[in-house]
Amino acid sequence: MIELKEIADRMSTDDIVLTYQGKLDAQILDKLLHFSEAILTERNVDKVLRKKIFIILVESLQNCYKHQMVDGLGELMDFTVALTHEDDGFHLVLGNYMTLHDRDALKEKLDDINSLDQKQLNNKYIEVLDNGEQTASGGSGLGLIELARKSGNPLQYSFTNASDEMAYFVMQINISK
C-alpha cells in the first residue's frame, strides 16, 4: 500500500519538484501546472521527458479536479499531489477522497488497465475513443488509459477507508527516464 507520509519521509528537498495539499480549484490547478513546467525547465529536464511528465500531470490533475469530493458543509475536501525526481525517473503521487461505491468501480478499471501491455493499451485507447460513450461521471474513460500509456508503467494505487462512506485513494505514476 502506498503511504504518502512514507514517501515524504524518504525524500530530500532536492528530490521534490512539486508538492501541494489543499483545495483544488481552477486557479490552483493552473498555478500547479505553470509552476511544474517552470521547475522542470529550470532543472534542464530533457524536452521529450518534460513533455511526457507535463501531459501526465495535466491529465492526472484534471482527474482529481473533476472527481473531488465535497464535505458535509459543502466545502471541497483536500487533495494531495507530489512530483518527485529520483535516479530512476519521476514519480507523481496523488491522493483524494472518493465514495466507497466509486472505489470499487475505479479498482476494477485500474486492475483492467494494469493487466494490459503497451500494444493492448493502445488498442483499448482507440476502442474507447471510437466508442464515444461517456462514463457515469461524464468522462470517456480515456484518462487512466492515457496515464498508463504515457508513463509506460503500471499505475500503482491504494485505498484506505476514511469513513463508512468514503475512502482515500492514492495513486503513484512512475515516469521512467
pLDDT tens digits along 61-119? 999 999 899 888 889 999 999 999 988 899 999 999 999 989 999 999 999 999 999 99
Domain that holds residue 63: 4-176
3-state secondary structure of 147: helix
Cell numbers standing for residue 133: 460513450
**3 versus 23: which is more confidently predicted?**
23
134 pLDDT exceeds 70?
no
Reported as a pLDDT band with limits 50, 70 and 90, residue 131 is confident
- Return the sign of the alpha-carbon dihedral for residues 148, 150, 156, 158: negative
Write the secondary structure of 114-136 as one string of H (helix), E (strand) and C (coil): HCCCHHHHHHHHHHHHHHCCCCC
Residues 176/35/138/79 CA torsion (nearest 10 deg):
90
Number of structural domains (the chain) is 1
Look at residue 10 in the predicted model and tell me its pLDDT: 53
Range in 20-29, 50-59, 139-148, 165-174 with the lowest mean pLDDT: 139-148
> Residue 170's domain is classified under what CATH number?
3.30.565.10
Please enumerate in sequence order all residues whose Cβ is within 8 A of that of 34, keeping only pairs 6 or more positions apart, or say none. Answer: none
